[in-house]
Structure 1
Amino acid sequence: MALDAPTMLTLTIALAAAAALYLAIEWRGVREASLLFWSLGFATISLGSTLALLRGSGLLLIGIWFANGLLIVAHWLFLVGVAQFTATRLSRAWYLAPAAWLALLLLPGEQQWPKVMLLVNSLLVALPSIRAGALLRPHGGSLGAGAAQLRYVLLGHGLFYLAKAIPALVPGTLIDLAAFRGEIIQVSLVEGAMAIMLIALSMTGTVRYRREKRIERLAARDPLTTLYNRRALETRAPHLLREASPARPGALLLIDIDNFKLVNDLHGHAAGDRLLVTLSEMIRAVLPDGALAARLGGDEFVILLRDASGERIAALGDRLRRGFHDAAAKAFATPEAVTLSIGASLYDRPPASLVALIEQGDLALYESKRGGRNSIRLVDGTLAGKASMGGHTGIGIGATRSQGM
């Protein structure tokens, strides 16, 4: 099969239509705006290439001006899609760029008109492509192999169109846009078909990476509070536990809501859910850098701290306890106060396991409940704590306490 202009355009139409259909199907499944813009971009290329075929029939206004205008719109849609993918806000100038093509209608039909059209068209395709590639640079982490490939494909595609603009700047160069002849047209058609294939494949990989990351996040998060769930905590905790040392002790805080059942019974489970979300937001607000927080289940939460101390635990626990008491009292009327009981365990060497550490926190939590609730109990398992207690590590002895209000 000869790679003449009509054949290349037909191939481009088929490739772009297939890419548009695939990305549209993906968009229906995940509803990401970037997919919709990319799908529309490929559909626009397919339509523009169809119009370009009419150039051979003498319909120059449609085959040249409209076809190239749609090519510009398609690359603008690619840019907007990348901006959506990277959560970047584009300046207003980028939204006005496609309108620049309309200015060519005001040019007189002189000999320089084809050169101006080639120059403007090349720049209006190159600049959005290069800008889109620049937006895909990693920010503190990889966007995935597909996004990295898409970045370089768009940059290469943009640079090609910059180079394509050079002949329009060379004096004496004859450019005939009314025919499918010439090296510029032939090379552009081949590059365009290759670029469509590479961009479509890269976008596919980008979408797949984003979907896998979303599934991974959903699997690691509690659906109600969006804090880590127990499985995610067990995966992330070992690294934090291994950092414990006498110079930088670690700590676990086990948090339970007192009289939570009263809220569910008197105000409904939706009210109980709102209270859980309120507590999770308070935990996020007080969580230090490098700490972990998770919902273990029901109304039980856990916080893992690094570089902790009895004073830091008491301050963090009191802030949570007081804030939650005030919020619950304002939101729900109950016969008994809805408060927090906190059991904490301080350690200066890596514990045997997360489970063992949670069991220590659970014992401290039990003492907090038994002591009247709305309080903090600390088990100090550090060498300094054991020495101050004469080798006794029992709950509450020598512990930091904050009694109920």
Structure 2
Amino acid sequence: MAPHLLNAAPLAFLAASVGVTVLLTSLLTLAFAWLRPSYPGWRGWAAGQTLLVLGMLIGALRTPETELLSILLGNACVMTGSALVVHAFYRFAGVQVDRRVRLIHRTAVPLILAALYLLTVYENNITARALLVNGYLAVISWAFLRLIVLEMRRQSTLRSAYALNLGVIIVVHALAVPRTLLLGSGTHPEMAFAFNLPNLLMYLSVLLLSVGGTLTFWLLHDDRRRADMQHLQEELSGLAFSDPLTSTLNRRGFQQAFMEWTESARSRAGTLLVLDIDDFKTINDQQVHAAGDTHLRALSTLLHQVADDADLVGRSGGDEFVMLLTGEAGTVEHQLQRLSEGLRGPTGALGFGVSFGCTQVEPTDTLERALNRADQAMYQAKAARRAWAQNIPFALYPLEMDVMTGEWKP
């Protein structure tokens, strides 16, 4: 062990403890990243994190005998590791790395290492060396901070995880500042091996970067995985409970929503409607199925316009739709009047005929019984409209529906 560390047993013990901890953490992180691939950037981040903490350790354990090797190897690890970590965050976010940042890394690192060699062998200018390395790290840090801020604004579900990563980086830099200021002047090189507060903070920053950085980056991946799973669950739920053609609930979705309404609306009755496009088969046969799809979408649009936020609109199959109006009696009456006006006459405002029937439904009702009653009213209306259309001009004698009872009359 170096004489300086032997003469400073507490610092030597601290250095050994921190070194073993960060090395074990780095090895476990690398193994986990390679054996369990995750999002893009996971492996690059693990490699960069390992190089970064190793570089900081090499710099902290510098001795007069290993000064040149420590300066070149330590700073090479720190600069390369920092660039890899930033690139990993860019890959994770799916953002293209700025070409200028890549160019700076590829050209600046060799030039800085050559300058560090000259400033160590021929002049031993600590201040110039610190300015060179810190200038490079400032550019890399700016790219990192800019990305983090943009992603925190863009991805609200990952905002807290990005904030934790940002917080760790800021605290790590802050803890390293006292030692940088202490040694930057070059007037007290022996203080690099003393058991003092700047050195203690330096080792604490290495430990925080290794353990805290690993934890926060893992949390970022875990939050993204949970957000992706939630998004996938919503997509699957949409496929399972909604009709892709009309953007309404399908039969299963309407049943589920109706059950939830019955459980939450014990004190208020609703109005259930069943709607059916007149002569839909003829429309499909004469105008091809694309025209039928257009009719279905037009009817679903009208139903969505009539429905309030708490109401349910579904397509139970074919050309048949169901609708549950859940508002106050006056609101429901107004909605049914708007719907009747949109469907009045043999073609209505939509350009095709639609028959519908409705029934009062209590929260204690089953959907099957309520649908049977509304179906009967709908078929009664359809039959009556056909009879009236065959004998009397429909425009002169339109059918009207009692919006509260669901009964049709001329």
Q: How does the TM-score come out when normalised to structure 2?
A: 0.64
Q: Deviations over 1:354-397 (max 9, x none)?
A: 2222222212211210122596634635xxxxxxxxxxxx8336
Residue aligning to 1:316: 339
Asked if the contact 1:256/1:341 (under 8 Å) is kept, the reply is yes
Note the C-alpha offset of 1:5.
5.7
Correspondence for 1:195: 216
Q: What stretches of structure 2 of length at least 5 have no aligned partner?
A: 1-16, 59-68, 116-127, 185-198, 387-397
C-alpha contact (below 8 Å) 1:343/1:366 kept by paired residues = yes
Change (3 A) 1:226 1:43: farther
Aligned partner of 2:228 in structure 1 is 207
- TM superposition shift of 1:54: 10
1:13 equivalent in structure 2: 30
The answer for the alignment partner of 1:380 in structure 2 is 404
Q: In the alignment, is the contact (CA less than 8 A) between 1:13 and 1:45 conserved in 2?
A: no
Asked if the contact 2:90/2:97 (under 8 Å) is kept, the reply is no
2:240 corresponds to 1:231: no
1:359 alignment partner, one of 349, 368, 372: 372
Instruction: Compute the displacement of 1:4 (Å).
Output: 6.3
- In structure 2, the residue matched to 1:42 is 42
Distance 1:286 1:61, change over 3 A: farther
Q: Structure 1 or 2: larger helix share?
A: 2
In structure 2, C-alpha distance between the alignment counterparts of 1:302 and 1:116, rounded to whole Å: 67
Aligned-pair distance for 1:343?
1.1
Give the count of matched residue pairs: 329
> Which letter maps to 1:172?
L
The one-character-per-residue Cα deviations of 1:175-212 (angstroms, maximum 9, x if unpaired) are 8xxxxx95233432233333343333333333323222
Report the Cα distance in structure 2 between the residues aligned to 1:321 and 1:100, rounded to whole angstroms.
66
1:275 has 2:295 as partner:
yes
Q: Is the 8 A contact 1:282 1:320 kept in 2?
A: no
Amino acid at match of 2:134: K
SS of match in other structure, 1:343? strand
- Between the aligned residues of both structures, percent identity stands at 24
Which residue, 108, 122, 131 being the options, matches 1:112? 131
Greater mean alpha carbon deviation, residues 126-135 or residues 262-271: 126-135
* Distance in 2 separating the partners of 1:324 and 1:8: 73
Aligned to 1:252: 272
Q: Give the alignment partner of residue 221 of structure 1, picking from 230, 242, 248.
A: 242
Query: Offset of 1:45 from its aligned partner?
Result: 1.9
Distance 1:8 1:312, change over 3 A: closer
Q: Note if 1:368 corresponds to 2:381.
A: yes
From 76, 95, 99, the counterpart of 2:90: 76
Query: Structure 1: where are the runs of 5+ without partners?
Result: 23-38, 82-94, 138-146, 176-180, 330-337, 382-393
User: Residue 275 of structure 2 contacts residue 357 of structure 2 at CA under 8 Å; is this kept in 1?
Assistant: yes
User: Is 2:405 the counterpart of 1:396?
Assistant: no
Q: 1:44 to 1:169 in 2, by over 3 A?
A: same
Q: Distance in 1 between matches of 2:239 and 2:400?
A: 32
* CA distance 1:282–1:66, shift in 2 (3 Å): farther
> Which of the residues 262, 266, 286 maps onto 2:286?
266
Matches of 2:260 and 2:249 in 1, distance apart? 15
Q: Normalising by structure 1, what TM-score?
A: 0.65
Q: Mean Cα displacement is larger for which, 126-135 or 230-239?
A: 126-135
Other-structure match for 2:191: none
> Hey, what's the Cα distance between the residues in 2 that align with 1:378 and 1:359?
18
Letter of the 1:250 counterpart: G
Q: RMSD between aligned alpha carbons?
A: 4.2
Q: Tell me the distance in 2 between the aligned counterparts of 1:102 and 1:60.
A: 21
Mapped partners of 1:48, 1:96: distance in 2: 16
- Give the counterpart of 1:156 among 141, 150, 164: 164
User: Is the Cα–Cα contact under 8 Å of residues 245 and 297 in structure 2 kept in the other structure?
Assistant: yes
Closer/same/farther in 2, CA of residues 287 and 311 from structure 1, 3 Å limit: closer
Alpha-carbon distance change, 74 to 293 in structure 1, aligned in 2, over 3 angstroms: same
